[in-house]
A = this chain, B = another copy of it.
Amino acid sequence: MKLSMLGSGFIGRFYADSIQGLRSKDQVFSIYSRREESAKKFAEDYNCAHWTIDMEASIAHPEVEVVCIALPNNLHEAAVMLCCKHKKAVITTKPLGRNSAEAKRMLEAVEAAGIFHGYLEDLVYTPKFIKAEKSVREGAVGRVLWAKSRETHPGPHSDWFWDIEQAGGGCILDLGCHCVEISRSYIGKDIKPIEVMCWADTQVKPIDAEDHAIALVKYENGAIGQFEVSWTFRGGLDLRDEVMGTEGTIWINSFLRTGFEMFTTGKGGDYVAEKAESNSGWLFPVGDELNELGYNHMFADMFDAIEKGVAPKETFYDGYIVNAVLDAAYASAKSKLWEPVVLDIWRGKTGVTKDSHLVEFDTDHYLIKEEMTHYGDKKVILKHKTTGKISDRIINGK
């Protein structure tokens, strides 16, 4: 696959490292950057055949098969429109838009143009997530009750993130977009998110946007999604998911505790720890970030889908849903109310209700709980069906 990469910054380089990684047959053919020196440097580092400071030239280049947007949030829409114009397959970094209106316009544009569109939500492509989600679909945790995702760190690298105009928001938009799609994937992408309650504040940084937020997202089937996001966390990058189901639990730690622990006094040489907040003491490196963060499996899904002529796992539609949930989060943070998720476009189930989960014990009772006593007997706690009275009963006394 031959790509145009739009943007030569931190994320563009990360993407290129993955796309051109181990024995890959794909390559970044053309690089567009706003600054000539950045474009040249990138082209040199990644051995790109073409570089330019004219975005449309990169997109329109006849050898380019797919365009990868790795630009600040405020530039996504314009770039997408150019892809539509030139009928090029397009994949876009997260979040899709700064808000659902932008996202909706992009979704409608790519669909009208009939082009391939992929939404680069890498964290639903991490190997751990892929395996966990498969287990959930196979019933390993029963019915999902709650799915939380947390992403916090000490703040982004590039200056534009801190500028609310370019970024469109703070850590909710930057990090919450990951978390929303993770929770939604665990709960079921066909289940409608209904309303959001969000707390957000600027607790530490001298900025206009929020640097810390927590939200609950209610789904139509009664399941709850949760996100915890912050740009003020100390200790590195904290990336964790937790799922509770009626029959099981999932805990995933994607960064700070992955089975690699190192202590160093810092005296032993010129060792420099990456991404850690210090170079000495106990450090917790990640072996292979590109793989652990899902980039490899994400691009494989995207390019395989293009080759097969099918939709990838994550499309602009998903990006749009995520933006709609985040819009509700921002509204809630302001209004302090549960705010509805406004979805002009919804292609999943509707009218789903909470299942009844009364467990029959006998004609008159529901079963609340069964347990072993200290004496080795089985005890059941029951609720009378009509009176509602709670009682317990020893079943097989020895």
Contacts and interface: CB of A to CB of B under 8 A. Distances in A.
Contact of A155 (B201, B272, B337, B369): B369
A368 B157 CA distance: 11
B357 A204 contact: yes
Identify the interface centre among A138, A281, A354: most chain B CB within 10 Å of its CB.
A281
A230 B214 contact: no
A250 interface: yes
B260 A132 contact: yes
Contacts of A131: 260, 285, 287
Interface string A349-388: 0000010011100000011110110001000010100001
Nearest to A301: B22
Contacts of A304: 23
Nearest to A126: B287
Identify the interface centre among A152, A162, A260: most chain B CB within 10 Å of its CB.
A260
A181 B160 CA distance: 40
A212 interface: yes
Contacts of A22: 24, 296-297, 300
Contacts of A185: none
Given A25-B23, A145-B203, A284-B282, A234 B265 contact: yes
Sort A-B residue pairs by CB-CB distance and give the 5 closest, nearest first: A139-B269, A281-B281, A127-B287, A127-B288, A235-B263
Contacts of A138: 269-272
A135 interface: yes
Interface in A257-288: 257-272, 277-278, 280-285, 287-288
A259 B237 CA distance: 14
A249 B280 CA distance: 11
Contacts of A258: 258-259
Interface stretch (A49-57, A218-226, A312-320): A218-226
Interface stretch (A93-101, A109-117, A240-248): A240-248
A46 interface: no
A29 to B, nearest CB: 15
A368 B300 contact: no
B162 A368 contact: yes
Identify the interface centre among A23, A130, A155, A284: most chain B CB within 10 Å of its CB.
A23
Contacts of A391: 159
B262 A390 contact: no
B145 A212 contact: yes
Interface in A128-155: 128-132, 135, 138-142, 145-146, 152, 154-155
B234 A263 contact: yes
